[in-house]
Structure 1
């Protein structure tokens, strides 16, 4: 009995490891960005015992200060764990303006997107990011740190993902950024607000929903619930994270490793810890809130929808709508009976944060842009929309401008610009042509956000952030002088505006976010919202602002009257947990010199780090072949190499391979070599009923060049490019010596592809783009062969149209091809469903219709195995060789798809699909054919 039990446990271990390592490799390989910086970036480096800091040359003046902080952060964030963090390479992507960062293995590195934006916080962006990511260094090294390059980094990454749930490692990192600073997300009331709103509104979602999210409801992310769960653990025992990781480290293949370790040291499983966390938060937030009753815009939205930044201009209220069913747009409201109706003003594109400003007949906003080839070369540009003419102008190009605001005379636009050295300045632009008129540079180390003009245009108010914390800053335009209006603190300040000579702004002074008035140095509270008030705008003694609800940010209106009983002397913001508030830490290390050296990209091109068992990193499960591969990736994503062996069990032949790709410059170049065994068939004396099998080996060399480009324009994404490739085959060791007409050499067939795609951005609930036009032309031929002849060309088109209801989509694909010679029986176009189940003549063209629609968003937990988020349907009709067919389709079908998350992993989103296809052909082996498929997406 014991023997059978052990066999069962070992089987579970092996099966679990196989499934979850595949899942982890899929998830992490997609989450980590494999794109490149521009080749013009001149990289520098600082080397210490703890890290290698790699950064663009323009950041050289700032890098030593960051290096000094990193030394401290790496030491602090590993202090409660059993092992110090090992040396790691950290790349500062200073040319990439998106605020983000990550740590990865395979290869081991971290990337910081280090440019601060206009997203308000309670401390500086880059130090906060460094604190957060430093904890991830320590987590990796304490759990799987013994598995290192040159062979085991991918295994270490997979085991990390297998063992640690995302809520634990991300929530723990948020805890560390809160412990070792005066800021951190643990002190942001706007960050914990969605959980508080759900609890106080009796929306008690279960643990799986908090981990996996929802299409239909606002569910706080696993970062936030993870922070609170980790905080409960930390309050019980500050050393508990080290104990859990140490216990897990020696049992990486043990089933339910994390749950066992958590149970051992906390006496609770994850689900129990979640329930106790929600119970604790319910008690902490059970205080009744005095709520005034402002006038709210009543808008009938089926799903949660935000209406950001309400602004009244010319008796019209404008807002920026963010909906799960629609992509972002600026709308204006109209009164009709007791409800408000809105009309679209202008569709906008991708933004780093929701933002726009209205003045007179002009609307300005910023949009995110990227270099067509190098995705880590990004920009923020300024757009202007004229309400009178209905026209949009792109006022700037390839700039790093944020938060544009119009002057009252409409002649100027003030923006914030951040240099490559992270120096901030206010820039004044001509509103007609975008020309730079003037600028005021801020003191070194001070970043400013969200400016607003005074009515006279002589001064501006903005938010200031530096190592001291946050403040309000007033900028004198003519004297180019600045004045700080408050004491430095750790409050999150947002959207300051002038009302006469006074200032209205949002702050989290009293354990939640509300609107305040600064008048002659005194602060008075203007709103008393239930969950939070944001984005103030004043007009004619009326205050317009956003209030947060469990259905999104809504527009509220109230008289602009200060509450003298609500005068505020703000204390410093605290967390909900005493132990976090009592933590003492060293804020800075003594100043130190850090030599700066050049970083040679070419010299560091090869970095072998892992052995893997799949030639395609498990990206496809079709015809999965056992093998072993040694892989290399440089830390700047310019060069990849792979050496490997695999065995095809179906034909019982082996393949030896080597691959190299280089993508530092505009073309992406790939070279590959394979020595592989193959099977072939021949007829005896031309008799098709007499088939002879034979085998052989071949040398196969291939070369491909890609020129891929993509750009954003408004709410459209354009991608276009050219691909070219060729190969050389040399066959040998033919098993059938009497075989005739066998070509042992195929020299350099050429293939070319041109493509152009234009698609709308997708809303959260969209299955496909609402609009899209996609074209691809391919040509293949054999120009260098004397004995082999033939060519094939194909044209593929793909169009998207809106369906009958929101988030429904109609896809139409028309393709045609023509082939001759060696390619006569090749198909380079999409085929009708069920093609393999009937005898088909040569395919000349196809016309494929697919109608997709969401059916229900169940948010169901299927035990601990899966979490079902959406069920959707598809109806299809497929035509083939249109000139030879009647109006009836060759095949027609219907199916269901189930979108779900597996286990406790929030990503990827897996899809299981089933379909029944009716085949309208006399030669069909079956009239109705069932098919099933499995895939994943992000």
Structure 2
């Protein structure tokens, strides 16, 4: 029963938890707009964007077949360098990461807030529409988290995202459904002769490249609408959310409204057959750049290798230069022996703030230095001499600027941008700067910018074609453009364009690097990006206007071939009122409740979280059937200050104890307050965190007569102090653990009045590379102990030798060694319920020692040694929830003196990644709900 509850509520939290707790300081000022259907909460300075967002979302909803049934909250996050967005329940809200994407080939070139409005509005409609039938029962029983669970179990994530991509495409002149790059994954599999099973496409793979659920969902939805009409998916999803049909309601609904079984439906939509492609490792070769001597620089990564800079000499020899720091993209620039790129840097304390700083790397020495601090620079480029830098700065107001910097990162000039362009991939050209630009309508062109006056000159007309990676060569420009169903290499000269593709491929070519009369670009394949070289052969020069008149992509469905009804052309409703929004607004916002049973206790907890997520509260009621007591409690945490402030209150009625050989009853009050300081110390190639916390606990029992007179006041207080530090290198997809990592936990608990009780613990793990790739060696250690006096006995949390029963002993020590290695990557599932990604194992040896004069007859140390093997299964349940669990066989080399029988022990290793974290967990460690771009 306990395992089932862990699984179900872990599923709830891993699918519904997303918001960063305490991500902004209390002095951050907020405003709000309340339209008929939307509440937009935004920082000062984003008034016009918020008005635009509210207007578009209201206009979409007014034309929807299933309009919103309540006003929905949207929060604009402006201090993050990532481009993202999501809608989630528990509580219902949407978070938008307002930094516009630089690379249009990833998400398109639409105005970023408007694209988010088109996409995320659909998710709001989905959640409010899916509160029906069986899902409504779940919501009644568990609140919003109950609906999140029901919807996740019955409606696949590909439907959520495919449906939203379909809307952003249908209601605009672009959207991802009109982007050739969006179909690269499927085209690459077709070229490679790979036709994976549906479950592999649903769950992904640790071995092979697979399309994501956005791409899978869009193709399935497009096929369903083309074959069975625009209302087909509304009927299917409504029945599935209502749980019509206890098992597989989504598949049953497809069967009902299409007349064919789901297996046949998906086969026709995706043309799935037996996997005919041979296995090849996924290795990416990206960002080709030629050096002055004609050698080729590029970035290489794979499922088992971290991204690193490589130099391919003209002789064919390859040289690894350095592993790249954490970055948001693979782009870099080169000149005069130096590599320049933008690296990701999180804020030390505030989770909704991060930075993109410039790093300069010497390819000969491998030494690197950071030349900016707490900046937000993107796609930088070096001048040919290496003494100047041009980079895009996107500030916290959402504006984009071109900055001219010295090689040391000093600002020389900021170029004016009165038209509000979003720039990408700037380069130095003759007496000018060259950059891809997009305007507020989402149209793109190439701009030549005068270095002195800042005047912008468009090389050709604005269009909806996606443009990027310009490479000036003399009076011509090589660049990548979306046209005729592919992202192609294009050459510009004197208002004419030439399409340079010489090989008929289905997937896109990106970022041309030119040397002599040839160019090298990266090609999207089923085995990663690959570099290929082609001669510069111009077959025909075409006037730019004629090329721009060609479509980006020719859709099969008639709904896109007609002129789109663009909801982005509607005017902003300026009559909406802007008002202040206080940091402390909506402190009590109860959204869900969790029943729990763990022998011998029943409990019910109500969860509250305000929209800014700087205040969380839990109300709980617990009944213990062994003692017959009832406990009522309140726990709250406020994250607006530098340390979190935590407080709690518990009052227990009718506790039971033994006094002078008879049972007595009493009530008990416990008050808790404390501070927690979570620090993100990540930088460069490593992730690290430090969390310091201290809690004060006061306990007051209230005895009844006659014990009240004889026992008197028995109140006591204690402190619980803790330090947790973790540091690790970056981790590749197939690596079980990082190559290098370490964790340390130190805890000290001590009574500060009445008793002299105390307990301490220090424990840690160190991770090292194994003998083969993806193998790991783990060394563990721990020391701990407690006082020997009568008084409080704190709970035991010592990591004892595996296989043994454990008690709270006087002194304890432990050391251990484990060797972890993969066994197989099955990529196979069962009944669309559980999918097995990987099987791995670990052999271990533990040596614990303990002494306790009250328990052991001898006064010295007693050994507890064990050895054994563990087998782990990395799975996904219901095609969404990642769960790792294992089985352990332990052989005890010493007698178990604490109650266990026999030397052979079998243990089930619970899926520890199911249990939700507390308020201090970082956003990167939490799973996001649907609609993560």
TM-score when scaled to structure 2?
0.88
- Report the equivalent of 1:859: 827
Give me the whole-angstrom Cα distance separating, in 2, the residues matched to 1:833 and 1:49.
Answer: 59
Cα offsets for 1:70-90 (capped at 9, x unmatched): 3223345xx2x3344531111
User: Match of 1:450?
Assistant: 425
User: How far, CA to CA, are the matches of 1:482 and 1:94 in structure 2?
Assistant: 27
- SS of 1:208's equivalent in the other structure is helix
Q: Distance in 1 between matches of 2:262 and 2:440?
A: 38
Secondary structure of the residue aligned to 2:193 is coil
Separation in structure 2 between the aligned mates of residue 356 and residue 144 of structure 1, nearest angstrom: 47
Which of 493, 511, 517 is the equivalent residue of 2:467?
493
Q: Secondary structure at the match of 2:911?
A: strand
Q: What is the match of residue 63 of structure 1?
A: 50
Q: Distance in 1 between matches of 2:465 and 2:455?
A: 24
SS of residue matched to 1:466: coil
- CA separation in 1, counterparts of 2:303 and 2:251? 34
Seen in structure 2, the aligned counterparts of structure 1 residues 480 and 260 have a Cα distance that, compared at 3 Å, is same
Could you say what secondary structure the match of 1:327 adopts? coil
Say whether residues 1:770 and 2:757 are aligned partners.
no
Residue 554 of structure 1 and its aligned partner are, at CA, apart by 1.1
1:612 corresponds, among 575, 594, 597, to 594
How far apart are 1:902 and its partner, in Å? 1.1
1:653 offset after TM fit, Å? 3.7
Match of 1:167 in 2: 158
What does residue 643 of structure 1 align with? 619
How do residues 658-737 of structure 1 correspond to structure 2 at under 5 angstroms?
Answer: 658-676=634-652, 696-732=666-702
Secondary structure of 1:224's aligned partner: helix
Q: Distance in 2 between matches of 1:804 and 1:744?
A: 62
Deviation at 1:386, TM superposition (A): 1.7
Instruction: Please state if 1:306 is matched with 2:276.
Output: no
Q: Could you list the runs of 5+ residues in structure 1 that have no partner in the other structure?
A: 1-13, 283-299, 615-620, 686-691
Question: 1:810 aligns to what?
Answer: 777
The answer to whether 1:578 aligns with 2:578 is: no
1:431 corresponds to which residue? 407
What's the TM-score once normalised by structure 1's chain length?
Answer: 0.88
Q: Aligned partners of 2:458, 2:218: CA distance in 1, in Å?
A: 33
Per the alignment, residue 819 of structure 1 pairs with 786
Q: Which residue of 1 aligns with 2:760?
A: 793
Answer yes or no: is the 8 Å Cα contact 1:700–1:727 preserved in 2: yes
Counterpart pick for 1:543 among 519, 537, 540: 519
1:322 aligns with 2:288: no
Q: How far apart, CA to CA, are the structure 2 residues paired with 1:21 and 1:921?
A: 38
Asked whether 1:177 is paired with 2:168, we answer: yes
What is the CA-CA distance between 1:53 and the residue it aligns to?
0.8
SS at match of 2:491: strand
Partner of 1:271: 263
CA contact (8 A) 2:864 2:894 kept: no
Distance 1:122 1:281 in 2: 35
Displacement of 1:36 after TM fit? 1.8
- Tell me how far 1:523 sits from its aligned partner: 1.3
Residue in structure 2 matched with residue 99 of structure 1 by the alignment: 83
Per-residue CA deviations over 1:609-665 (Å, capped at 9, x if unaligned) read: 233324xxxxxx965953322221101111111222123355554322111111112
What is the aligned counterpart of 2:251 among 246, 252, 259? 259
2:353 counterpart of 1:353 = no
Do the aligned partners of 2:199 and 2:829 also contact (CA within 8 Å) in 1? yes
Match of 1:915 among 866, 888, 899: 888
Q: Tell whether 2:222 aligns with 1:243.
A: no
Q: Say if 1:922 and 1:933 are closer, same or farther in 2 by CA, change over 3 A.
A: closer
Consecutive unaligned residues in structure 2, runs of 5 or more: 852-858, 914-926, 928-933
Cα displacement (A) at 1:371: 1.2
SS of match in other structure, 1:810: strand
The match for 1:9 is: none
Shift of 1:518: 1.0
* Cα deviation 1:95-151 (Å, max 9, x = unaligned): 122111111222111111111132222423221122110001111111117968998
Say which SS state the counterpart of residue 774 (structure 2) adopts: coil
Contact 2:632 2:651 in 1 (8 A): yes
Q: For residues 814 and 271 of structure 1, do their structure 2 counterparts lie closer, same or farther at Cα, with a shift above 3 Å needed? A: same
Q: Aligned-pair distance for 1:334?
A: 4.4
SS in 2 for 1:890: strand
Question: Which residue is 2:848 aligned to?
Answer: 880
Cα pair 1:491 1:509 within 8 Å, conserved: yes
Equivalent pairs, count: 882
Shift of 1:672: 1.5
Question: What is the CA–CA distance in structure 2 between the aligned matches of 1:693 and 1:770, rounded to whole Å?
Answer: 56
Contact 1:50 1:87 in 2 (8 A): yes
Inter-partner Cα distance in structure 1 for 2:670 and 2:870? 41
Once the two structures are superposed, residues 134-175 of structure 1 have per-residue CA deviations (whole angstroms, 9 ceiling, x without a partner) of: 001111111117968998323332222233111111111111
Q: CA–CA distance in 2 between the matches of 1:738 and 1:423?
A: 69
Give distance in 1, aligned partners of 2:355 and 2:388.
21
> Match for residue 870 of structure 2?
895
1:760 lines up with 2:741 in the alignment: no
Contact 1:43 1:55 in 2 (8 A): yes
Maintained 8 Å contact 2:286/2:330 = yes
Please state whether the residue corresponding to 1:701 is helix, strand or coil. strand
Q: 1:41 pairs with 28, 41, 50, which one?
A: 28
- 789 and 460 in structure 1: CA distance in 2 versus 1, 3 angstrom threshold: same
Structure 2 contact 197–273 (Cα < 8 Å) conserved: no
* Aligned-residue offset at 1:513: 2.0
Verify the 8 A CA contact 2:16 2:148 in the aligned structure 1: no
Give the secondary-structure state (helix, strand or coil) at the position aligned to 1:564: coil
Cα distance between partner residues in 1 of 2:165 and 2:533: 35
| Structure 2 Cα separation of the partners of residues 868 and 249 of structure 1 | 26
Matches of 1:830 and 1:89 in 2, distance apart? 44
Alignment of 1:28-177 (within 5 A): 28-34=15-21, 36-76=23-63, 79=64, 81-84=65-68, 86-120=70-104, 121-144=108-131, 152-177=143-168
Change (3 A) 1:737 1:269: farther
User: Structure 1 pair 271/494, CA: closer, same or farther in 2 (3 Å)?
Assistant: farther
User: Which of 571, 577, 582 is the aligned partner of 1:595?
Assistant: 577
Q: Deviations over 1:476-528 (max 9, x none)?
A: 21221112223322222221110111111112212112211112112112224
Instruction: Report the equivalent of 1:10.
Output: none
- Cα drift, residue 885 of structure 1: 11
Which range moved further: 645-654 or 764-773? 645-654
Distance change >3 Å, CA 32–CA 217, structure 1 → 2:
farther
Residue of 765, 777, 782 corresponding to 2:751 = 782
CA, structure 1 residues 17+583, in 2 after alignment: closer, same or farther (shift >3 Å)? farther
> 3-state DSSP class of the match of 1:113?
strand
Q: Is the 8 A contact 1:115 1:418 kept in 2?
A: yes
2:214 maps to 223
For the aligned residues, what is the CA RMSD?
3.2
CA-CA distance at 1:900 after TM superposition = 0.9
* Higher RCO (Cα < 8 Å, 6 or more apart): 2
Alignment of 1:820-859 (within 5 A): 820=787, 821=789, 822=791, 827-836=796-805, 842-859=810-827
